[in-house]
């Protein structure tokens, strides 16, 4: 007579059911997150480069992370791969890339000459970036008029990093040598001003609405982009100084435009 042994079919059935419950993740969801992680790696690498004394390479790594940060969202929307997970990952990476990394690079390069005051300026810069990103995440779920999509509330984190690093660009572009304590104090005040712009509600133009180029201007845009890239590769620090000054000059224009549109709202 056969005796009934232990029933092994139930665990197998449960394992098969669990496997059926796991859905494959489409590649289009992974690509934007991989770009975000690569940008995060660049931000962390910039800290190492600054500690090793390669300040210009550290700045280049942060600038490259800013470029990737502008691409990952566009690629996610183009691939229809946006997700809440991707948005949270992007915010965490942005805090490291554009808050922690620039603050440490600034302190190692210039602000250390101001001692404790320079360190406080670096800390406030990183904190302001965290506040800026937290407010951005909260405002995503708010209903806003369509015209406000062309503006950021407060200086965006990538722009804050690029603008905040201006003292390093100036030192490298004009070969000013080691910063003096007096100059480091002035640079610390500038970094605090940038931190204030990030944490404030001052409107800034958003580049997210730039997506299409009129057909008749395609050739002009291509030549302009090629010329800009050549200038950036040959004179990187001078080009970053120019970009920063142009961006700072655009802030009053953005404020006037925002107020004009706000007065016209129904």
Q: How far apart are CA 63 and CA 77, in angstroms?
A: 22
Q: Which helix (H) or strand (E) holds 204?
A: strand 203-205
Domain-by-domain residue ranges, the chain?
26-264
Query: CB 116: neighbour CB atoms within 10 A?
Result: 7
Say which residues have a Cβ less than 8 Å from residue 208's Cβ, sequence separation at least 6.
Answer: 73, 149
Residues 6+ apart with CB under 8 A from 47: 58, 100, 101, 104, 105
Q: In the numeric block, which tokens belong to residue 95?
A: 């805090």
Dihedral (CA of 195, 196, 197, 203) sign: positive
Of residues 1, 75, 83, the one with CA closest to residue 38: 75
Q: Which CATH superfamily is domain 26-264 in?
A: CDP-alcohol phosphotransferase transmembrane (TM) domain (1.20.120.1760)
Specify burial of residue 62 (Cβ count, 10 A radius: 0-12, 13-18, 19+).
buried
**Model pLDDT, residue 17:** 45
Mean pLDDT in order along the chain per 10 residues (266 residues): 50 50 66 90 95 93 91 77 80 93 95 94 96 84 72 90 94 82 93 94 77 68 81 86 93 90 73
This prediction has a pTM of 0.83
pLDDT score at 236:
86
Alpha helix ranges (H) inside the chain: 9-21, 27-51, 55-78, 84-95, 101-109, 116-140, 157-164, 166-174, 181-199, 218-234, 236-264
Confidence at residue 210, expressed as pLDDT on a 0 to 100 scale:
60
- Name, in order, each residue with C-beta under 8 angstroms of 109's C-beta and a sequence gap of 6 or more: 50, 55, 58, 167, 168, 171
pLDDT of residue 1: 46
What pLDDT is attached to residue 179? 81
pLDDT of residue 24: 64
């Amino acid at each position: 007579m056969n005796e009934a042994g232990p029933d092994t079919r139930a665990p197998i059935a449960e394992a098969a059911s669990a496997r059926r419950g796991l859905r494959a993740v489409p590649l289009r969801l992974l690509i934007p997150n991989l770009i975000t992680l690569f940008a995060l790696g660049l931000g962390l690498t910039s800290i190492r480069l600054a500690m090793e004394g390669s300040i210009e390479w550290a700045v280049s790594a942060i600038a490259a992370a800013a470029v990737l940060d502008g691409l990952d969202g566009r690629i996610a929307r183009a691939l229809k791969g946006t997700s809440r997970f991707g948005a949270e990952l992007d915010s965490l990476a942005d805090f490291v890339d554009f808050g922690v990394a620039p603050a440490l690079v600034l302190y190692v390069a210039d602000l250390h000459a101001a001692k404790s005051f320079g360190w406080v300026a670096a800390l406030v810069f990183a904190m302001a970036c965290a506040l800026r990103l937290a407010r951005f995440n909260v405002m995503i779920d708010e209903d806003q008029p369509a015209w406000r999509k062309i503006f950021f509330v407060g200086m965006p984190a990538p722009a804050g990093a690029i603008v905040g690093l201006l003292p390093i660009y100036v030192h490298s572009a004009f070969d000013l040598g080691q910063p003096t304590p007096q100059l480091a104090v002035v640079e610390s005040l500038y970094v605090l001003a940038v931190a204030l712009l990030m944490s404030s509600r001052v409107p800034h133009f958003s580049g997210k609405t730039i997506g299409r180029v009129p057909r008749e201007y395609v050739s002009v845009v291509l030549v302009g982009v090629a010329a800009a890239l050549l200038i950036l590769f040959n004179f990187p620090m001078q080009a970053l100084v120019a970009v920063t000054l142009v961006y700072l000059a655009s802030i009053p224009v953005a404020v006037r435009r925002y107020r004009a549109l706000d007065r016209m709202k129904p």
